[in-house]
Structure 1
Amino acid sequence: MTLSPQLIAATIPDDPDLAKSVQDLVKSSPESAPVITRLLAYFQTKQGAASVPAHDHIIQQQSKQNQGIAQFFNRGGASTTTSTLSATASTSVSPRTSADIGPAIYTTSALSFLHPVRKKLVLSLHSKDIILTTATPAASTPEIICSAPYKSLYRVIAVPFLERTTKQTALLLFFRHSDGLVAAKDAIWVVPLPDDGKDFTLHFHEQHRQLAGLSEDLQSPSSSTKPPIPLSNSKRPDSLLISILSHFLQTSNPTFSSDGTVDIIQNPTPAYPNFLAHLKSNQGTIYLLPTGILFAFRKPILFLRSESIEAVGVHSVLSRTFDFEVVMRQDPTVVTAEDLEGVPAENKDGRRAVGFGMVDTKEFARMEEWIKKAGIRDRSLSEDLKAKDKAPVSATGASSKKRERTADGGGEGVDGNDSEGGGSQVSVSQRNDGTKAKKQRGTVQGGDDDEDDDEDDDFAPESDDEIMEEYDSDAVGSDSDGGEENVPVRRKKVDSDDEGEVLGDEDSDDEDEDEEGDEDEEEDEDEEDEDEDEDEEQNEEGVDLHNEDEVDELLDD
């Protein structure tokens, strides 16, 4: 049995020596021919499968997994992508053209969109799709930026746009998307519309009236200046567009009005409660709507559906602002992927929550009322939120006490105890008080007190006596510091009637006091003895000391 030359050439096309070796092997061992034939056929099959590019294979798998949403969002080759996932989605689906979508029935003038891109775009409504195109002259063909069928639209919201001075209403369109294919910022369209209709034009393409499915009872009387608008008599641009969208949603899904698959919230008068808030560093506006909480218009735009919210907790309530936290449910049967778009990943407690801050306390009552009406659990008294309200307490438990800063940088409590644990040493504040009192007394008594604060700080006593004089509240000076003559003996102790502290050791003070008393008595006895001696000497001379004449004669002699 021999091998087919065509099989060998197809399997081993670029190595003639190997092909000849295989043929020689089969000739020398004919019994191996069937096995070699099967082996070559197997290699040929694998080579055919490997000839398909790897990236094409990945794209095919992605298109199979996401074929439900891939057709909803299609971008042209020159469209601006805002994420890697969006770029992947655009490459997995061939761009749709105007021929694929069909002719437009309604088109608007160029509007300043905020999402998915900040650019002037034209909103074009077709029989099955809604698209965004570039604003180009009539002679040129517009470029498609985004497109989606009406069946992918699941929420339409109109709220006051407060970021401009003129009265405007922001129209928000939310489209379903698959995880990992289109980011939320690409699936949300936002455009502010003027309430007075200025700079807004809605064109109706009369030649395509039949494609709209408009009947006489659903449209306004047609005229050359006013396009027929189904289900609405309002002149506000947001109301006109919502009416047209509602009509196309109903024609694409007959059960649209009964199954409630699309959440449409129009801008009433007065408007729903709204106020400023911060999401991390981004400032935006919070709208408390009947079906959820909307945060706009900074990225990311969040809509927290009431049914997907587990609890709301208010915390960090101050005199002017407060914060609150929204905790989302974890039940996959209730919460959808769109409900969690923009919500941070699970924290350490295993839950997903988003926090808002810097809300004016004037809005607290409206926030509390909305929580009750929505039937959402209030977790403001939970332990983790109460922990955020507690002020930090030091280990010693003394953080609530006010501290005073002393001259040398140490802290002293209001109760007078030293911050280093107390002691018998005099504090710097007491030393300064004694110095001030001493200066005042020197001024009153006429003494010259040349000591200043620097000299007091450098005071270095050599004995206990000098310490006693320095801090004696009744001291009036001494010979050493320039005081007056004939001053009383320095006192060793602060009088008990004064409020000052006894300085030094009590036992040593008592001993000093006893010694001082003995010295005083000895001095008194010496003085009395001297007086008696003088009297005796005078008497011996026979002079009457009480007679002035005799005394004068004695002095003359």
Structure 2
Amino acid sequence: MPKSADLSWIDEAFPIPSQHSLNKSVRDIIAKEPKHSIVFRNIGKYILSLKGVEEPPSKKRKAGSEKNGVKKEVKGAGDVGLGKGDIVITVKEISFSIPTRKKFSLLLTNSSMSAVNAATGAVEFGVPWSEIQYVACLPVPDKAARQWNFCVFPKGAEGLGDGSADALVFTIPDGAPKTATGDGMGAGHDTSTYKSLLVAVFDSLLDRGTRVLEPDEKVFHSAVPQSHRKGEKAFHVKAHVGSKEGYLFFLKNGIMWAFKKPLIYFSFAAIESVSYTSITKRTLNLSIHVAEERGDAEFEFSMIDQEEYAGIDTYIKRNRLNDASMAEARRAKKHNVNGKEEEDGEDAGNLQKALEELEDEEEEDYVPGKDKDDDEDELGSELEDVNPDVPRAKRAKR
């Protein structure tokens, strides 16, 4: 491969963030075996031809002028104008951990959110507001200084099925937003902290009906005290996937696994059933089975502290996640995961109606004299043997 060979076509054919993993794989293969670059380029040309682009451009096309040190760039057909449009907020020195671990300037325009290289002013990666499916602002666990992680899930990046896209994760500190500038500072938003400012700006720029999701004490909170922040409730549950330690967050309309790559978001509509396995005196495992159309896969989270059982079980039963017969009802009326309150209320009403109809059917099928305990499987017995104070739990019907 010639020394001056241009590889910008890779970003055109395999755009970031939607194809971040594939983009990196192609670059790695070409770096090790340059002779394969022609084959991959031809594949890239074919992909772009399907999108209506005849030839991958050899260089990035600049559009517009610099503003606040940001070069507005158009990378090609795979890009939807990252960094373009009116700048609402720029926040310098923001630490990203996914898809890459580095500090960038966070650029929020009226069309997209982007990570900007502070040295060059170039957009490194980002996502248009129209392509964002879920957003959550979660407290960073086990840190002496209070921090929050913004988790942004582009469409297809929720970690289910065979999607290869990654979520975007960046960390914001506590305190006043001293490094934030832009017209959004004077748009009636709460500018007292980084968190209040960014939540307000995200809510205003995300597509209608989508809002930043945050933990709610009324929905779920951890039973394990925070030794470094006494009296303050935690919202995370420590768990493992294999040898990888991470955190589960039980949110309003879904369960999130964070902050190790890949992040996973289980919306209620995607969940077939939830069950407990490997019960011991100190720990338990939580298994989440996703629906067939989302990959028909089982995700097991292990080494969860027994103290968290009561809160998790209450959350699961309240939302009927351990009842596989309710899976179709959840999918029939999908929750608006980041929806506005009035829309959430409508969804909740529909779900409640479905639950009541199911309960009416169960009452019709009731046989007098049948012992209620006959419906409970060995899991309830296991839990009772381990700890008689722990209520029995029903294993999900498969």
TM-score (normalised: structure 1): 0.42
Matching residue's letter, 2:190 = N
* Cα separation, 1, equivalents of 2:273 and 2:161: 28
**For residues 161 and 45 of structure 2, what CA distance do their matches in structure 1 show?**
15
CA drift of 1:196 comes to 2.3
Please tell me the residue identity of whatever aligns with 1:308.
Answer: A
* Alpha carbons of structure 1 residues 166 and 65: separation in structure 2 relative to 1, 3 Å: farther
What's 2:285 paired with? 323
SS of equivalent residue, structure 1 residue 62 = helix
Equivalent AA in structure 2 for residue 236 of structure 1 = T
Query: Does the CA contact (< 8 Å) of 1:313 and 1:378 recur in 2?
Result: no
d(CA) in 1 for partners of 2:60, 2:256 = 31
Call closer, same or farther: CA 1:307–1:92 in 2, change over 3 Å. Answer: same
Matched, 1:133 2:116: yes
Q: How far does residue 270 in structure 1 lie from its aligned partner after superposition?
A: 7.5
Answer whether contact 2:133 2:155 (CA < 8 A) is retained. yes
| Aligned partner of residue 114 in structure 1, secondary structure | strand
Please identify the structure whose Cα radius of gyration is greater. 1
**Unmatched runs of 5 consecutive residues or more in structure 1:** 1-52, 68-74, 78-89, 207-218, 220-226, 341-350, 390-557
Are positions 1:241 and 2:241 aligned together?
Answer: no
Q: How big is the shift at 1:233?
A: 2.8
Q: Is the 8 A contact 2:239 2:248 kept in 1?
A: yes
Distance 1:354 1:238, change over 3 A: same
Structure 2 residues not aligned, in runs of 5+: 1-37, 53-58, 62-73, 222-235, 325-374, 384-398
Match of 1:277 in 2: 239
Question: d(CA) in 1 for partners of 2:291 and 2:149?
Answer: 29
Instruction: Write the mapping of 1:444-463 to structure 2, written as runs, cut at 5 A.
Output: none
The superposition leaves residues 474-527 of structure 1 with CA deviations (integer Å, 9 ceiling, x where unpaired) of xxxxxxxxxxxxxxxxxxxxxxxxxxxxxxxxxxxxxxxxxxxxxxxxxxxxxx
Equivalent residues, number: 262
User: Whole-Å Cα distance in 2 between the matches of residues 153 and 325 of structure 1?
Assistant: 27
Whether 2:228 is the aligned partner of 1:266: answer: no
Question: Higher RCO, 1 or 2 (CA under 8 Å, sep at least 6)?
Answer: 2
> Cα deviations across residues 271-322 of structure 1 (Å, max 9, x unaligned)?
8432111111111111111111111111221111111111111122111111
Change (3 A) 1:382 1:124: farther
> How many angstroms apart in 2 are the aligned matches of 1:62 and 1:117?
26
Contact 1:115 1:189 in 2 (8 A): yes
Which residue in the other structure is 1:184 paired with?
A: 165
Does the CA contact (< 8 Å) of 2:216 and 2:251 recur in 1?
Answer: no
Q: How does 1:45-56 map to 2 (within 5 A)?
A: none
8 Å Cα contact 2:220/2:315 also seen in 1: no
Helix, strand or coil at the partner of 2:98:
coil
Compared CA separation, residues 376 and 96, structure 1 to 2 (3 A): closer
**Post-superposition offset of 1:367:** 0.9
SS at match of 2:115: strand
Return the offset for 1:353: 0.4
Contact persistence 2:105–2:118 (CA under 8 A): yes
In the other structure, the counterpart of 1:500 is: none
Contact 1:130 1:150 in 2 (8 A): yes
Q: What's the counterpart of residue 87 of structure 2? A: 104
Task: Say if 2:256 and 2:264, in contact at 8 Å, map to a contact too.
Answer: yes
Alpha-carbon distance between aligned partners in 1 of 2:149 and 2:87, rounded to the nearest angstrom: 23
Distance in 2, matches of 1:263 and 1:190, equals 16
1:371 paired to 2:371: no
Deviations 1:253-277 (A, max 9, x none): 5xx13xxxx3531344678432111
Please tell me whether the aligned partners of residues 309 and 327 of structure 1 are also in contact (alpha carbons under 8 angstroms).
Answer: yes
CA RMSD of aligned residues (A): 3.8
109, 124, 143: which is aligned to 1:164?
143
Could you tell me how far apart the structure 2 residues matched to 1:181 and 1:323 are? 24
Matched, 1:195 2:174: yes
- Which letter maps to 1:354? F
Aligned partners of 2:87 and 2:107 also within 8 Å: yes
Letter in 2 for 1:245: F
Which amino acid is the alignment partner of residue 242 of structure 2? K
1:295 maps onto 2:260 in alignment = no
- Quick one: which amino acid aligns to residue 115 of structure 2? L
- Give the equivalent residue in structure 2 for 1:414: none
Supply the AA of the counterpart residue of 2:277.
Answer: H
Alpha-carbon distance in 2 for matches of 1:133, 1:181? 29
Residue aligned with 1:371, SS: helix
Do structure 1's residue 228 and structure 2's residue 207 form an aligned pair?
A: no
Secondary structure of 2:199 counterpart: helix
Q: Which residue in the other structure is 1:401 paired with? A: none
Label 1:123 to 1:91 Cα distance change in 2 as closer, same or farther (>3 A): closer
Q: 2-side partners of 1:263 and 1:353: how far apart?
A: 29
Q: What's the secondary structure of 2:87's corresponding residue?
A: coil
Amino acid at match of 1:203: T
CA separation of 1:246 and 1:381: change in aligned 2, threshold 3 A? same
Displacement of 1:125 in angstroms is 1.0
**Alpha-carbon distance in structure 1 between the residues aligned to 2:49 and 2:376:** 48
Match of 2:248 in 1: 286
Q: How does 1:454-533 map onto structure 2 within 5 Å?
A: none
Q: For the Cα contact (< 8 Å) 2:75–2:81, is it kept in 1?
A: no
Letter in 1 for 2:267: R
Counterpart CA distance in 2 for 1:307 and 1:97 is 32
Give CA deviations for 1:191-214 in whole Å, capped at 9, x if unaligned. Answer: 12122237x52101x5xxxxxxxx
Q: 1:355 to 1:269 in 2, by over 3 A?
A: closer
Deviation at 1:66, TM superposition (A): 6.3
- Please report how far the alpha carbon of residue 354 of structure 1 lies from its aligned counterpart in structure 2 after TM superposition: 0.5
- Per the alignment, in what secondary structure is the counterpart of residue 109 of structure 1? strand
2:192 maps to a residue whose letter is K
Deviations 1:83-139 (A, max 9, x none): xxxxxxx998577888x7245331001111111110001110112122111122xxx
Partner letter of residue 198 of structure 2?
A: L
CA distance in 1, matches of 2:212, 2:129: 13
Within 1, Cα distance between the matches of 2:218 and 2:322?
Answer: 27
Is the Cα–Cα contact under 8 Å of residues 219 and 315 in structure 2 kept in the other structure?
A: no
SS in 1 for 2:196: helix
**2:113·2:127 contact (CA, 8 Å) conserved in 1?**
yes
Per-residue CA deviation, residues 432-452 of structure 1 (Å, 9 max, x unaligned), is xxxxxxxxxxxxxxxxxxxxx
SS of the aligned residue for 1:377 comes to coil
The residue matched to 1:264 in structure 2 has which SS? Answer: coil
- Shift of the 329–133 alpha-carbon distance from structure 1 to 2, 3 Å rule, reads same
- Structure number having the greater helix percentage: 1
